[in-house]
């Protein structure tokens, strides 16, 4: 499978990359790992005239921790996140998410920024970003700006990233003491994308009452969404199985569930509830541990 | 001189000699062949399931840089239809024909109507592959889309779009086997009858190496050479030369070098290799084409695709009194090379299984649809038969309230050797079905499992066990028999054994290895027979310029048919060697025996000539018998007297996730009887791979067409779910050995058993897991999580 002809650009820094984006506009696509883009190009579903490869731009990858957040460079591969000791000690759920993306080849080349900018509706990262309340740091001709995850995913493969911008960094806030988080997914039998994936993060006080909850649902609809009904049903409650079950029942509310070969609307909605329950149960267990 | 007694290599698990070159990237596949002046072909294919071609404008493509030529179907006037190699017509006295096969044309490039997505309509030839692919987009086809039908049991309904003028109502043929009135009578006298609709979904073979070909025409000699991914290069040559292009066979050489998997899909003659061969003669330049994975999904012959209504009649005691089967088989848009044989003589003839059955009747309707052509895929007809029988037998046991193992045991054909005449034409060679099943139950600890299952069910867990006890017909096949059934070819095999002056041996086999390991197995056989080091043996295959006319590899026939041909040539070599040795030893040839790698006077190891001395003498015949030709080279053709019938018993333990419907396989056990085994490691590998493929059909694989548009929606590996390693447990396998009397080595065949057995085994296990909920059947495969979950919901709703 051969892609249509394109020009390849390898800018040496962000400024050069932004210059190319400004010049080439719609004709250009950013290459940030390429594990979604290249297959689409080979099938000629995507035919960009220019590829701007961020692989040689320094400073776009790596994981830094400050007291409040993990700052993950957009070009950080899934494998780097999966194997990072900083991630494992400060926000292990990110390593859990990374470990179930695709296969080792995908994890070694694919990047978190590439995934979040591509916004495949069945990608794994979006659920975690929503649950954890991440911020996207974009760089454009006018400098940097931050976009909260709730403003990021606009629709099917559509994000708040502007035409002349690139996604430079993802800031994921650390969870306070007494928190736990988990990601549970039902993988597509062929692609291993999420048919449904739910990430839950809960914070419990000393009495075991939930003070904060974040729940993101990916896979089922045209974009990943925050399960607001579930979160509301968790906060203020002691999270026993009955409370979790009741909250999880709202997991498909507000999701524009799409029927496809992997499931009817009914089945996928059901999976949202099942995996919400499983993720919350595990998150609560980890919060108590 | 002390003789060294070499250990027997027959039966030894030696490592595959071909693997170092494969795993270090030094295999030589078609796409690795580079020729000077090579051009590249890319095909313009129909984006529609069914559409009339109003006009094709190639001018834009011809202007594209690097394009050499563009051809359409109209340019190929004088080229014939791709042939179908199996006839089903009353006038030919083919048994069971109810309605004659409609021999519809299948042109290499269709000029009037495209009949499935991917149907080629034009070819672009360019100086590079990139230029050819780019220029394809510049060929403008003016399409008139027509309504399409892809669904098997809707093709022959009234109002369905007509696909071929020569096949009214889209019926390709109607065929039957067995005794209708005896079966009707058996059902009347039955204590219990069960009826189920059983779907066997369409599969895509997915060989690791996509199809490819290179055609070169030598203007100096007038010879055409075709490198092609083929399981049977001589069959390719015969079909293409004699039937399609009208080129004399002696002017064509077909080479199938290293081939990366076939599973049946590389048996057949395809459009692309015919077009490239024709173009090479037009342009007098080599032409190469390699399929993309997308093209592989759209154009490699698919497998299975049956809709069956099966009924079983049982006595109160659990005896099987009657089996009635009505099947609609989807053949796709065209007749692939052996398509009519698969749902008929390779399907209906296996419905007797390993059971004593009172009466059987089976009728099959083949239909055309706007889908990729369907033909043999690993197992080819036998998996479909086994699936129907093993599902309906379990359904019968459940209806009677009898244990599924018990019901099977009550009905096994008793141990026999020589012949068991079935009710569906074939006669089995040898079998001991209860022994394999007993061994399986023992490995499983069946009673203990049922107790564990009971305990698990009390905890609300859905644990299940499934069985299949299967029969397989392989070692294909007696030429006279298949000829009487409609085959256009004989199904013998050839082998030429060339002993070199210094004692090395080259075997030229008509079998073809595309993963089977012939370079090891056949060398083992030769080294064992001649008692020479295996390093002295070379196996050559896959080149019509080198090997005698051979029929190739499919239907688990290489060791049993191809191996026997080698054995026959080795025996001729030994006989001639005895005459040479007798002369050297001044003894009578009748007094010479071949022992431990030397020709010796019977019982006198000190009066002996080693193999190498005899071979040297054959080529330097100074001291040599009169009236004996020099040289040591023999050719044999072996035509088996019957099929061979491997059998076995498989079991699977699954747990179903009640919340999601996901199926997890906990244990998989297999006891196979493939007769004598040359290399147990290779046979184990075949069984393992076969089980994985069978599990794939049961749980995740399936080609799906969108009903409205006729598009193949599972057209990539991102959508079509092949089985993955993490779905599979460590297999627990064993073998019983019941040699076949059909061939001298007692070998039956092992290539397809796993695929045949595994699918019903897994499905039966899932049904058993769901049985406490009241589920006794799920109509369609694969058993995706959603299908299982829906079955659970439906059962809950009924309660």
The verdict on A1 touching B (C-beta cutoff 8 Å) is yes
Contact A271 B660 (CB under 8 A): yes
Q: Which residues of A touch B134 (CB under 8 A)?
A: 2, 4-5
User: Dihedral of CA A71/A75/A78/A84: which sign?
Assistant: negative
| Structure confidence at residue B417 as a pLDDT band (50, 70, 90) | confident
- The pLDDT tens digits of the residues spanning B335-358 come to 999 999 999 999 999 999 999 999
Statement to judge: residues B527 and B433 lie in one domain: no
Domain assignment of residue B184, yes or no: no
Interface of A with B in 3-22 (CB under 8 A): 4-5
Contact B133 A186 (CB under 8 A): no
Write down all domains in chain A, each with its CATH number in brackets: 7-52 (3.30.43.10), 63-173 (3.30.465.10), 179-288 (3.30.390.50)
Domain assignment of residue B168, yes or no: no
Statement to judge: residues B286 and B308 lie in one domain: no
Domain of B268: which CATH number? 3.90.1170.50
Question: Which CA distances in Å does A110 have to A1, A195, B580?
Answer: 20, 19, 69
Domain stop point among B585, B615, B638: B638
The verdict on A45 touching B (C-beta cutoff 8 Å) is no
Domain enclosing residue B210, as ranges: 37-146+206-299
- The pLDDT tens digits of the residues spanning A106-136 come to 999 999 999 999 999 999 999 999 999 999 9
Statement to judge: residues B354 and B380 lie in one domain: yes
Domain assignment of residue B8, yes or no: no
Query: Residue A202 and residue B529: Cα distance in Å, rounded?
Result: 72
Q: Which residues of B touch A189 (CB under 8 A)?
A: 699-700, 721, 724, 784
Into how many domains does chain B fold?
3
Interface of B with A in 237-296 (CB under 8 A): 292-294
Q: What integer is the mean pLDDT of B117-141?
A: 97
Residues in chain B: 799
Statement to judge: residues B289 and B336 lie in one domain: no
CA atoms within 13 A on the CB side of A240: 3
Statement to judge: residues B314 and B361 lie in one domain: yes
Domain assignment of residue B28, yes or no: no
Question: Which CA distances in Å does B174 have to A194, B88, B332, B438?
Answer: 45, 9, 16, 39
Q: What integer is the mean pLDDT of B746-761?
A: 97
Statement to judge: residues B392 and B447 lie in one domain: yes
Domain stop point among B258, B282, B299: B299
**CA terminus-to-terminus distance, chain B:** 84
Q: What integer is the mean pLDDT of B493-518?
A: 97
- The pLDDT tens digits of the residues spanning B5-14 come to 678 999 999 9
Residue B3 reports pLDDT greater than 60: no
| B395-408 as b/e: b if 16+ CB within 10 A | bbbbbbebebbebb
Of B699, B718, B786, the CB nearest to A190: B718
The verdict on B726 touching A (C-beta cutoff 8 Å) is no
Statement to judge: residues B372 and B291 lie in one domain: no
Q: Which residues of B touch A270 (CB under 8 A)?
A: 789
Q: Which residues of B touch A5 (CB under 8 A)?
A: 130, 134
Q: Which residues of B touch A267 (CB under 8 A)?
A: 786, 789-790
- The pLDDT tens digits of the residues spanning B287-302 come to 999 999 999 999 999 9
Statement to judge: residues B662 and B625 lie in one domain: no
Q: What integer is the mean pLDDT of B122-129?
A: 98
Considering only CA atoms, which of B195, B651, B199 is closest in space to residue B396? B195
Q: What is the pLDDT of residue B1?
A: 43
Residue B702 reports pLDDT greater than 60: yes
Domain assignment of residue B174, yes or no: no
Residue B363 reports pLDDT greater than 70: yes
Q: What is the pLDDT of residue B42?
A: 98
Domain stop point among B299, B320, B348: B299
Query: Residue B262 and residue B375: Cα distance in Å, rounded?
Result: 12
Contact A251/A197 with Cβ under 8 angstroms? no
ipTM: 0.96
Domain of B360: which CATH number? 3.30.365.10
The verdict on A188 touching B (C-beta cutoff 8 Å) is yes
Statement to judge: residues B633 and B646 lie in one domain: no
* Run of H or E including B462: strand B462-471
Q: What integer is the mean pLDDT of B35-63?
A: 98
Strands B39-45 and B287-290 turn out to be parallel
Averaged confidence pLDDT in chain B: 97
Statement to judge: residues B346 and B274 lie in one domain: no
Q: Which residues of A touch B133 (CB under 8 A)?
A: 2
Q: What is the pLDDT of residue A289?
A: 63
| Structure confidence at residue B236 as a pLDDT band (50, 70, 90) | very high
Contact B721 A189 (CB under 8 A): yes
Q: What integer is the mean pLDDT of B656-672?
A: 98
Give the mutation candidate from A106, A267, A278 for the B interface (greatest B CB count, under 10 A).
A267
Contact A43 B294 (CB under 8 A): yes
Domain assignment of residue B562, yes or no: yes
CA atoms within 13 A on the CB side of B747: 28
Residue A152 reports pLDDT greater than 60: yes
Give the mutation candidate from A3, A189, A275 for the B interface (greatest B CB count, under 10 A).
A189
CA distance B293 to chain A (A): 8
- The pLDDT tens digits of the residues spanning B364-404 come to 999 999 999 999 999 999 999 999 999 999 999 999 999 99
Q: What is the pLDDT of residue B2?
A: 47
Contact A1 B293 (CB under 8 A): yes
Contact A2 B133 (CB under 8 A): yes
* Run of H or E including A267: helix A265-288
Q: Which residue of A has its CA nearest to B793?
A: A267
Q: What is the pLDDT of residue B4?
A: 59
Domain assignment of residue B73, yes or no: yes
Domain assignment of residue B30, yes or no: no
Statement to judge: residues B341 and B392 lie in one domain: yes
Statement to judge: residues B465 and B536 lie in one domain: no
Contact B713 A271 (CB under 8 A): no
* Run of H or E including B770: helix B753-770
Prior bond of B477 cis (ω within 30°):
yes
Averaged confidence pLDDT in chain A: 96
């Amino acid at each position: 499978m051969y892609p249509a002809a394109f020009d390849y650009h390898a800018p040496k820094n962000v400024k050069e990359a932004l210059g190319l984006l400004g010049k080439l506009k719609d004709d250009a696509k950013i290459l940030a790992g390429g594990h979604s883009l290249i297959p689409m190009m080979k099938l000629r579903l995507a035919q960009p005239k220019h590829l701007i490869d961020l692989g040689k731009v320094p400073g776009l990858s790596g994981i830094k921790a400050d007291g409040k957040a993990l700052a993950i460079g957009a070009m950080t591969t899934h494998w780097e996140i999966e194997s990072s000791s900083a991630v494992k000690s400060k926000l292990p759920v990110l390593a859990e998410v990374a470990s179930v993306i695709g296969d080792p080849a995908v994890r070694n080349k694919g990047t978190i920024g590439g995934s979040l900018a591509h916004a495949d509706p069945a990608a794994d990262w979006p659920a975690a970003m929503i649950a954890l309340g991440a911020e996207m740091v974009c760089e454009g001709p006018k400098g940097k700006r931050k976009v909260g995850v709730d403003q990021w995913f606009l629709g099917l493969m559509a994000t708040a990233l502007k035409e002349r911008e690139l996604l430079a960094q993802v800031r994921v806030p650390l969870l306070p003491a007494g928190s736990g988080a988990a990601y549970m997914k039902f993988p597509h039998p062929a692609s291993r994308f999420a048919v449904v994936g739910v990430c839950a993060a809960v914070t419990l006080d000393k009495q075991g009452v939930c003070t904060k909850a974040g729940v993101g649902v990916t896979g089922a609809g045209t974009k990943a969404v925050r399960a607001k009904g579930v979160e509301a049903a968790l906060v203020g409650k002691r999270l026993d199985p009955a409370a979790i079950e009741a909250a999880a029942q709202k997991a498909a509310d507000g999701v524009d569930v799409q029927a496809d070969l992997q499931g009817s609307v009914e089945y996928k909605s059901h999976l949202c509830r099942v995996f919400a329950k499983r993720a919350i149960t595990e998150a609560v267990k980890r919060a108590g541990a | 001189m002390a003789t060294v007694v070499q250990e027997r290599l027959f039966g030894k698990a030696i490592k595959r000699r071909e693997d170092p070159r494969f795993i270090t990237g030094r295999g030589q596949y078609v796409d690795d062949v580079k020729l000077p002046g090579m051009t590249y072909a890319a095909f313009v294919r129909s984006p529609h399931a069914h559409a009339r071609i109003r006009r094709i404008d190639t001018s834009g493509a011809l202007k594209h840089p690097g394009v050499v030529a563009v051809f359409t179907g109209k340019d190929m006037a004088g080229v014939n239809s791709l042939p179908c190699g199996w006839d089903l017509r009353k006038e030919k006295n083919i048994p069971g024909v109810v309605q004659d096969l409609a021999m519809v044309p299948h042109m290499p490039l269709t000029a009037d109507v495209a009949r499935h997505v991917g149907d080629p309509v034009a070819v672009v030839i360019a100086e590079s592959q990139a230029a050819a692919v780019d220029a394809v987009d510049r060929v403008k086809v003016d399409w008139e889309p027509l309504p399409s039908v892809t669904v098997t049991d809707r093709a022959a309904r009234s109002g369905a779009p007509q696909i071929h003028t020569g096949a009214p109502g889209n019926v390709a043929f109607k065929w039957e086997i067995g005794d209708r009135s005896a079966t009707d009578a058996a059902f009347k006298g039955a204590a219990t009858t069960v009826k189920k609709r059983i779907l066997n979904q369409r599969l895509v073979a997915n060989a690791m190496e996509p199809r490819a070909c290179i055609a070169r025409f030598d203007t100096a000699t007038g010879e055409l050479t075709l490198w092609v991914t083929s399981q049977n290069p001589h069959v390719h040559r015969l079909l293409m030369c004699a039937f399609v292009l009208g080129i004399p066979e002696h002017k064509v050489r077909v080479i199938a070098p290293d081939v990366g998997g076939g599973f049946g899909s590389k048996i057949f003659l395809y459009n692309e290799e015919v077009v490239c061969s024709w173009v090479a003669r037009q342009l007098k330049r080599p032409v190469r084409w390699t399929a993309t994975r997308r093209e592989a999904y759209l154009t490699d012959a698919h497998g299975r695709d049956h809709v069956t209504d099966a009924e079983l009649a049982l006595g109160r005691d659990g005896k099987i009194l009657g089996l009635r089967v009505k099947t609609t088989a989807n053949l796709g848009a065209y007749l692939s090379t052996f398509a009519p044989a698969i749902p008929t003589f390779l399907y209906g003839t296996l419905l007797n299984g390993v059971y004593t059955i009172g009466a059987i009747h089976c009728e099959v309707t083949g239909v055309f649809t706007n889908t990729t052509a369907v033909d043999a895929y690993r197992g080819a007809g036998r998996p479909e038969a086994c699936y129907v029988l093993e599902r309906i037998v379990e359904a019968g046991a459940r209806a009677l309230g009898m244990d599924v193992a018990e019901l099977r045991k009550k009905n096994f054909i008793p141990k026999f050797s020589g012949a068991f005449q079935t009710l569906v034409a074939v006669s089995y060679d040898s079998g001991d079905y209860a022994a394999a099943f007993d061994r399986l139950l023992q490995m499983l600890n069946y009673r203990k499992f049922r107790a564990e299952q009971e305990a698990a069910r009390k905890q609300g867990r859905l644990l299940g066990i499934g069985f299949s006890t299967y029969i397989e017909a392989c070692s294909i096949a007696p030429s006279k028999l298949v000829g009487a059934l409609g085959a256009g070819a004989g199904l013998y095999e050839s082998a030429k054994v060339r002993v070199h002056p210094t004692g090395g041996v080259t075997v030229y086999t008509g079998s073809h290895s595309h993963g089977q390991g012939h370079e090891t197995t056949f060398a083992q056989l030769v080294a064992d027979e001649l008692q020479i080091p295996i390093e002295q043996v070379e196996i050559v295959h896959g080149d019509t310029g080198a090997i005698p006319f051979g029929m190739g590899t499919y239907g688990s026939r290489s060791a049993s048919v191809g191996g026997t041909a080698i054995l026959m040539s080795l025996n001729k070599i030994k006989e001639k060697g005895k005459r040479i040795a007798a002369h050297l030893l001044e003894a009578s040839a009748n007094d010479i025996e071949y022992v431990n790698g030397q020709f010796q006077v019977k019982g006198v190891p000190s009066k002996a000539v080693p193999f190498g001395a005899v071979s040297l003498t054959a080529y330097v015949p100074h001291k040599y018998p009169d009236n004996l030709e020099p040289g040591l080279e023999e050719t044999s053709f072996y035509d088996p007297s019957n099929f061979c019938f491997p059998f076995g018993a498989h079991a699977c333990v699954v747990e179903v996730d009640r919340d999601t419907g996901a199926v997890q396989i906990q244990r998989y056990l297999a006891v196979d009887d493939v007769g004598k085994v040359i290399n147990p490691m290779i046979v184990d590998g075949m069984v393992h791979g076969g089980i994985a493929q069978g599990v794939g059909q049961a749980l995740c694989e399936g080609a799906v067409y969108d009903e409205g548009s006729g598009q193949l929606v599972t057209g990539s590996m991102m959508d079509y779910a092949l089985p993955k390693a993490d779905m599979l447990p460590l297999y627990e396998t064993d073998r019983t050995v019941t040699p076949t009397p059909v061939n001298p080595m007692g070998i039956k065949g092992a290539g397809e058993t796993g695929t045949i057995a595994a699918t019903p085994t897994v499905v039966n296990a899932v049904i058993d897991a769901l049985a406490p909920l009241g589920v006794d059947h799920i109509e369609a495969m694969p058993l995706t999580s959603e299908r299982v979950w829906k079955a659970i919901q439906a059962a809950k709703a009924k309660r």
